[in-house]
Amino acid sequence: MNEWRVPFLIWILGCTMLPSLAQKPGPTVYGTSEVARAAAVEETVVRRWNEVQLEAIRGDFARPTVHARNLFHAAVLAFDAFAAYDTLDTPLFLGEEWQGTQIPFDPALLEVPETDVARAAAQETAISHAVYRLLSHRFAMSPGHEESQLLFDGLMVELGCDAANVSLDYANGPAELGNYLADHMIAFGLADGANEAADYVNLVYESVNPDLELAASGNDALIDPNAWQPLAIPVFVDQSGNVLSETPDFQGAEWGQVAPFALGDSVRQDYERDGHTWPVYLDCGTPPLFQEGALVGEAADAHAWGFALVALWSGHLDQEDTTQWDISPGSVGNLSVTGPTTFEDMDTFYDWVDGGDVAPGHAENPSTGAPYAANPVLRGDYTRVLSEFWADGPESETPPGHWFVLLNGAMAHPDFTTYWRGQGAMLDPLRYTVRAYLTLGGALHDAAIAAWSHKGYYDYIRPVSAIRYMAGLGQRSDSTQASYHPGGLPLVPGHIELVGAGDALAGSGGVHVGKIKVKAWRGPDAIINPVWDEAGVGWILAENWWPYQRPSFVTPPFAGYVSGHSTFSRAAAEILTAITGDPFFPGGMGVFPVTQNQFLVFEDGPSMSFDLQWATYRDASDQCSLSRIWGGIHPPADDFPGRQLGLQVAAIALERAEMQFGVVPGVTLECPADLSLDGIVGAADVLMALSSFGESGPGLLGDLDMNGTVGVDDVLTLLAAYGNPCAAD
């Protein structure tokens, strides 16, 4: 095997993990009275607090790591406030030693109401006080603090809670219990490694590269072509609309130091760099690197191929593009969970020139039994809409918040049911929601830690820096042509070419002849007013290439590898699949309307109204990952390892969350050897199990006997089931 292909295989398989199994609903009701359920079914109190938290995030700085942590900590408080009065579920934080911190609690001092109605009221009061205190603290320095605090105060009044009650004596009642919980969570948060007290700034990280001046051409000042580079923008506006006057530092470079939910030492490796320790969770290995003086073979091919793909896909962002795609679930989605494992696989998985992936789509809607209707859309509209839809979520609640929005939307659907994992007995909506938020919040928090542990340590370059730098070197395809350099961009006729004499881009006196040009989105300078104008696609000098983003944002201020969007989205998709017991959106399809000439913000468009449609949560996640390539934010090298990392994080988080949940009658796991969830135990399952063979730790792929180690017994169990279909539900 090629010496480069081995680490590439490890790079992919090192992040490979499988989702948990999902089952369909059972027939009974469990764990609540009809009165409590009737009061909660429309919208639980914890859902209402989640909604105001999401709104507060939209008014805060766009910090995905920080908001993943805030969402998780709020979910812990809500769950513990519920569980403290419950006989089925047990608190995670309250009365436990959590991440090295002891949270004292004497349950004998807590007065638990005897009736279901009174107990539910106590739970709701405790939840409200706990989350209110935490949010008031965490958003106190937000640029939208005043508006957010009004929301928090208003909801307390609406719920009949006394915000003036600040007592911590939980023996006096549920309000005090909530205050007590929040007080300890606030203290914990000041010592969990996030550096909250100093506004989350880095303590040791320093960029090795000088700022990239976006207003200038090229990137000649780049020192390390593999390392992240700050972007000098005259006025930086983050994706929540907040104006920052200075060049943004690397956001969350040391987030691998933050106390996780479920990630343990068994999946953590500590590396040394620049005299400091960098923890990396579930290490995906080194991404393809630019190697000066040794640019031959697949390693160089993978690096150049990936960044060239980003430039090529930029050429799809054109309203005048007449290419039409069917974006219905009949043509989009249903990808294999395994994905590419070699460079050749990457080249066939992603369509290098025309865009998209090899997804076959779904034969029919399982809810209706009928095929999905075609949904033809112009490629130029779809790619721009997709890029903006997932940029940081609608209204900028950041990717972690976006997936809470999707979960809330699913739970509000008429077809949604509160069976945990879609099995056994129906749960009270409040119990289901606090469980769901704890599980999703924990997975997203750990996804942030795992992804940013890679970002901080590997410190990988972004496309805007790489493409401009490579363009300055020249072309790598033909040593007999002008501007040859083995580190340059590949030539692709009709897409990436040399500027010739007489070319419209040749410049005065032919100053640009021999430079690299690319047919791409023309950038913000081509837009007079984004309300009514669009840049379109055309030939530009590659040294002036821009991502499809606002000129005041350009690229998120942190390293690329691995993709946070891919990690967050895959982790969330697997959690939603598991806790709902169904990989499909309620009704068999999630629908998100897009309005002509109104939806896009970066420029005018789209040219027509249409619906974004995804059959499964995983399909939505996969399209989210592609959106970051079209947006010019990530190459494939950032993407698929992030997806695999999210898979693994989700499995570990789900296992840890369910340790707090009491057993609900009728909930079982069947066909555990079908790791790929394709309905049969086959080769994909064997490969997935072998990728973790010999490893120990929680939530490991292929640990079929659940003893914490993937060993011979697990492989024998899998082989004994090889070829068997899974039993129908």
Other beta carbons within 10 angstroms of residue 712's beta carbon come to: 10
Contact 575, 653 (CB under 8 A): yes
Contact 52, 136 (CB under 8 A): no
Which residues in 236-360 belong to E strands, given as ranges?
236-237, 243-244, 268-273, 276-281, 324-326
**Domains (range + CATH), the chain:** 31-201 (1.20.144), 670-729 (1.10.1330.10)
> What are the percentages of helix, strand and coil residues in the chain, rounded to 5?
40, 10, 50
Per-residue pLDDT at 467: 99
Q: What angle do CA 200, 206, 210 make, to 5 degrees?
A: 120
**Low-confidence stretches of the chain (pLDDT beneath 50):** 1-14, 16-41, 393-394, 665-670, 727-729
Predicted structure pTM score: 0.88
Per-residue pLDDT at 402: 95
Pure H helices in 235-317: 298-313
Whole-angstrom Cα distance, residue 462 to residue 471?
Answer: 14
How do beta strands 212-213 and 231-232 pair? parallel
Pure H helices in 593-635: 617-630
Q: How far is CA 155 from CA 45, 53, 132, 151, in A?
A: 10, 11, 9, 6
Whole-angstrom Cα distance, residue 493 to residue 559?
Answer: 31
As to burial, measured by CB atoms within 10 angstroms (0-12 exposed, 13-18 middle, 19+ buried), residue 320 is exposed
Q: Which of 228, 227, 249 has the alpha carbon at shortest distance from 238?
A: 249
Per-residue pLDDT at 708: 63
Per-residue pLDDT at 719: 74
Per-residue pLDDT at 23: 31
Q: Which of 71, 70, 74, 92 has the alpha carbon at shortest distance from 194?
A: 70
Per-residue pLDDT at 662: 84
Residue 55 phi/psi, 5° resolution?
-65, -40
pLDDT in tens, 153-184: 999 999 999 999 999 999 999 999 999 999 99
Per-residue pLDDT at 707: 61
Whole-angstrom Cα distance, residue 257 to residue 514?
Answer: 47
Token pair, residue 320, equals 């005048």
Token pair, residue 653, equals 């988080």
- Is residue 41 helix, strand or coil? coil
Token pair, residue 97, equals 């030693």
Q: Which of 554, 630, 639 has the alpha carbon at shortest distance from 316?
A: 630
Per-residue pLDDT at 550: 81
β-bridge mates for residue 326, sequence order: 376
